[in-house]
């Protein structure tokens, strides 16, 4: 016989409905993220991926890198409601943090990419992000920078053509799998150090479970259960429409996964985001319209659980969520390979009109 938890999970995955609270299974974050069999993590691959991640020359005007929107010197996002892309374009969604993204089973807010490797290719050729015409254009710039050849050869030894779009994406993904923030106060607490959390944070932890927050934000990453890569954990948002928050924060303007699949069953479904380091990634929700964490917990309680929080409950929840800020590894800025005696960035026509904003 299938367990109650399994039946509830299956219903949620299929219908996108909110779950009643189950007994929380508190898990610490692993110190390492798993890597796929076809892209094992190596030191050389991580070094190449980090270099590509920080290099702005793979955007149309040479002004934006992956790190521009996913700043790993901070919370892994850009703390803006919407990121600023080429030609001052704005996307409709807030940049999600790249920290601990390796623990997701799908990528992007709507889960349209199955893997980190798939995700890494998208922003390069998105006209309102990095704006390159094609992945072949990106490779053309890499080819013009001599210092990249030995980096690709070291990362992918023995390959006849190591410089490729697939290998570039594999390297960036390998680097992103090192972006893990374990050993938060919460992690230390669930490992047995009962002094790691304050009394208020413990109250918040209990409130988080009793309200039903763990129905969605479960597991070590607080982003749902561990699922096979490519199988997303989605929830309907808002589950309880009709509150004042809908209009205040434009909660139903974006239809979530439906925008990618055009399947009616996916309307208003969203991949459940991690709560790790959430204190550092304001503003909140997918469109970045909620300015503070205190307001965010109130919005989520009302829209997802149909509950109005007291000020004390909200304060306790915020205190607990602050305990999910982990330890960040030291990241040194890479020295980017030079292109001696030439620029790889084409000149910009000063009379060129700006492209429309997405």
Residue 132 DSSP label = -
Helices (runs of H) and strands (runs of E) counted in the chain:
13, 2
Choose between 9 and 347: higher pLDDT: 347
Q: How confident is the model at residue 21 (pLDDT cuts 50, 70, 90)?
A: very low
Tokens of 140: 């053309």
The 10s digit of each residue's pLDDT in 73-111 is 999 999 999 999 999 998 889 999 999 999 999 999 999
Q: Name the binding residues for heme c.
A: 66, 69-70, 213, 216-217, 300
Lowest-confidence segment of 136-145, 153-162, 223-232, 343-352 by average pLDDT: 343-352
Choose between 288 and 357: higher pLDDT: 288
Q: Is 259 helix (H, G, I), strand (E, B) or coil?
A: helix
Q: What's the pLDDT score for residue 5?
A: 36
Dist CA 289 CA 240 (whole Å): 18
Tokens of 145: 């920078």
Dist CA 318 CA 274 (whole Å): 15
> Does 159 participate in catalysis according to the annotation?
no
Tokens of 100: 């601990």
Active-site residue identified among 60, 117, 129, 295: 129
Place of tokens 């923030």: 181
How far, rounded to the nearest angstrom, does the alpha carbon of residue 162 sit from its chain's CA centroid? 28
Q: Name the binding residues.
A: 66, 69-70, 213, 216-217, 300
Which domains, and CATH codes, for the chain?
Answer: 4-30+184-322 (1.10.760.10), 43-176 (1.10.760.10)
The three state secondary structure string of 224-289 is CCCCCCCCCCEEECCCCCCCHHHHHCCCCCCCECHHHHCCHHHCCEEECCCCCCHHHCCCECCCCC
Q: Is 90 helix (H, G, I), strand (E, B) or coil?
A: strand
The 10s digit of each residue's pLDDT in 138-189 is 999 999 999 999 999 999 999 999 999 999 999 999 999 999 999 999 999 9
Cα four-point dihedral sign 284, 289, 291, 293: negative
Average pLDDT value over all residues in the chain: 92
The 10s digit of each residue's pLDDT in 36-77 is 999 999 999 999 999 999 999 999 999 999 999 999 999 999
Share of the chain above pLDDT 90, in %: 88
Dist CA 63 CA 60 (whole Å): 8
Tokens of 310: 């007291």
Is 60 exceeded by the pLDDT of residue 245?
A: yes
Count other Cβ atoms within 10 Å, centred on residue 327.
Answer: 10
Q: What's the pLDDT score for residue 144?
A: 97
């Amino acid at each position: 016989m299938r367990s109650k938890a399994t039946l509830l999970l299956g219903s949620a995955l299929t219908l996108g409905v909110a779950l009643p609270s189950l007994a929380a299974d508190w898990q610490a974050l692993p110190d390492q993220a798993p890597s796929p069999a076809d892209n094992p993590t190596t030191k050389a691959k991580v070094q190449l991926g980090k270099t590509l991640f920080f290099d702005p020359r793979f955007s149309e005007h040479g002004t934006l890198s992956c790190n521009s929107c996913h700043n790993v010197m901070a919370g892994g996002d850009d703390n803006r409601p919407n990121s600023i892309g080429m030609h001052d374009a704005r996307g409709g969604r807030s940049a999600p943090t790249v920290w601990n993204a390796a623990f997701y089973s799908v990528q992007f807010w709507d889960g349209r990419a199955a893997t980190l490797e798939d995700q890494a290719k998208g922003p390069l050729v998105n006209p309102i992000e990095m704006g390159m015409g094609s992945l072949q254009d990106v490779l053309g710039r890499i080819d013009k920078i001599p210092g990249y050849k030995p980096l690709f050869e070291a990362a992918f030894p023995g390959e006849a053509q190591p410089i490729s779009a697939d290998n570039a994406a594999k390297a960036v993904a390998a680097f992103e799998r090192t972006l893990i923030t374990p050993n938060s106060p919460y992690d230390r607490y669930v490992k047995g150090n009962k002094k790691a959390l304050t009394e208020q944070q413990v109250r918040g932890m209990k409130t988080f479970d009793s309200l039903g927050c763990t129905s969605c934000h479960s597991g070590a990453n607080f982003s749902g259960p561990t699922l096979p890569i490519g199988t997303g954990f989605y929830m309907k948002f808002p589950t309880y429409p009709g509150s004042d928050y809908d209009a205040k924060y434009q909660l139903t303007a974006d239809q979530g996964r439906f925008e990618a699949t055009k399947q009616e069953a996916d309307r208003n479904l969203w991949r459940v985001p991690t709560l790790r380091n959430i204190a550092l990634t304001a503003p909140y929700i997918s469109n970045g319209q909620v300015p503070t964490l205190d307001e965010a917990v109130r919005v989520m309680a009302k829209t997802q659980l149909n509950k109005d929080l007291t000020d004390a409950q909200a304060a306790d929840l915020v205190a607990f969520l602050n305990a999910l800020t982990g330890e960040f590894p030291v990241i040194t800025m890479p020295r980017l390979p030079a292109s001696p005696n030439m620029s790889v960035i084409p000149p910009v026509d000063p009379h060129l009109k700006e492209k429309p904003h997405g």
